[in-house]
Amino acid sequence: MLLCVMASSPLAAQSDQPIQVISSTARPDFPTEIVFALEATSSAAAISGVQLLYGPTRSDALVIVELDVPLQPQVRLEHRLDTQVYYYPPGTDMSYRWIIRDANGNRIETPIQQFVYTDERFVWQERTVDQVTIFWYEGGDAFGDAVAGTVESTLENLRTTLQASLRESVRIYIYSSTSDMYTALQANSAEWIGGQADTGLGVIVAAIAPDNGREIRRMIPHELSHQVLHQYIENPYGSIPRWLDEGLAVHHQEVRDREYDQLLLDAAQENRLIPLEALAASFPADPDQARLSYAQSRSIVEYILDIYGEAPLQTMLAAIAEAVPAEDVVQRALGMSVDELDAAWRSTLPAPIMPAPDLSGPKVAPEDRFREPPVLPADVAPILPTPTPSVPTLGDRVAKLPAWVTLGGSALFCLVGVVLLAVVLLVGLRRIGVDKRD
């Protein structure tokens, strides 16, 4: 998508303003770069400074770039943003503007311009349900209908269960293969990722084959749950605990991940369950541990639903939205700590039949480790302040040489003498031998 505002913009069109914008454009080339271009002129003096301000429309902060400017009345400038390094997912709403100055002190700020950083390598079909717009390029209308139906039912389930709904629009980009999708993800993304939701930007990226209705009903509810929860909470001071976020997402899938049940049973019996507190911030990078984290999170959420119903989950989300500290969220909703919830949930699983794995790390230092002064070896003197040295004489230098140096010198002298004596004897013996043969 190309966005171009000519000199008819409000600031550039003021007759008393010497700085005029001739053109301002943004040329996205997903997934490689975005090229921002400006042509401007000043009737008063040479243009002396140009700043580009850009960033996602939904972000409160903009990146500021100071461009190199030739000192002349009219300039044509470009800034190439490498989006392999500074990544934005497909479907990101972007905003930008310019600040231009000339040598006489004149200054203008251009109006904010917007564009969608979309993946134009594919010819997308499009469907909108509620505030969700679906993009796909294989599978025809039947595929779009299936995704739209799942989106509609998921939004209704989330409204019923959590009393939560979308507040802003969401875009879903569905690639027909994982190889296509990986080219749209950030470099070095984990290989096991089948989809991801950028909740701050309102974008979902997923890989679903056109004939895979099961994956539609598994993936779409999962990623859409993340979007709804984060928009509902909207807490700038904290985030939803990862186990709660992922547990609700997996729970709301219309297709259940059956392998998670066996993963959970095996981990419980083998004493490999991950403490709930450890799942609050992030999940392990190891694929097996990550799957176990998802399995545990779903099981804990469903334990809460089975024992206490939907109300505690609604209370948790409301508390997070009010910026209640994470450690107090469970206490407010269930009247117990996170560790107590973890223990209560574990009591419903099979007892371990194996000892806990050895995860020994650094040993804990004794409490009184600072009470005693450090003990130095007998031949090491304490470190003391060093006085400013005077210029030593040669005799001082020799006298002050360490013992090992003087001893080493004597030993070396003796060794050289022995070697010379041996050489003399060897030469003499050889001469005697020669004389005898003669």
pLDDT in tens, 239-276: 899 999 999 999 999 999 999 999 999 999 999 999 99
Decide if domain 122-233 falls under CATH 3.40.50.720. Answer: no
Q: What is the pLDDT of residues 62-106, one digit of tens each?
A: 999 999 999 999 999 999 999 999 999 999 999 999 999 999 999
- pTM, whole model, 2 decimals? 0.75
- Residue 240 has which token pair? 């939803």
The single-letter code of the amino acid at 404 is: W
Helix (H, G, I), strand (E, B) or coil at 102: strand
Work out the angle between the directed axes of helices 140-162 and 213-233 (0-180°, nearest 10).
40
- pLDDT at residue 144, as a whole number: 98
| Nearest of 284, 288, 297, 282 to residue 250 by alpha carbon | 297
Q: Where in the chain is the domain with CATH 2.60.40.10?
A: 3-117
Whether residue 279 contacts residue 293, with contact meaning beta carbons closer than 8 Å, is answered with yes
- N- to C-terminal Cα distance for the chain? 105
**Tokens coding 238:** 């904290």
Instruction: Say which residue the tokens 């299936």 belong to.
Output: 146
Q: Residue 120 and residue 181: Cα distance in Å, rounded? A: 13
Give the relative orientation of helices 287-308 and 259-269 as an angle to the nearest 10 degrees: 100
CATH class for the domain made up of 3-117? mainly beta
How does pLDDT run across 204-231, given as a tens digit for each residue?
999 999 999 999 999 999 999 999 999 9
At position 325, the amino acid (one-letter code) is P
Q: What is the mean pLDDT of residues 170-183?
A: 96
pLDDT score, position 298? 98
Residues whose CB falls within 8 Å of the CB of residue 282, separated by 6 or more in sequence, listed in order: 242
Does the pLDDT at position 383 exceed 60? no
Supply φ then ψ for residue 261, to 5 degrees: -60, -45
Query: What is the rounded radius of gyration, in angstroms, for the C-alpha atoms of the chain?
Result: 36
Percent of the chain with pLDDT over 70: 78
pLDDT at residue 21 greater than cutoff 80:
yes
User: What tokens appear for 7 in the block?
Assistant: 């000199």
CA 361, CA 175: separation in Å to the nearest integer?
A: 43
* Residue ranges of the chain that CATH labels 3.40.30.160: 122-233
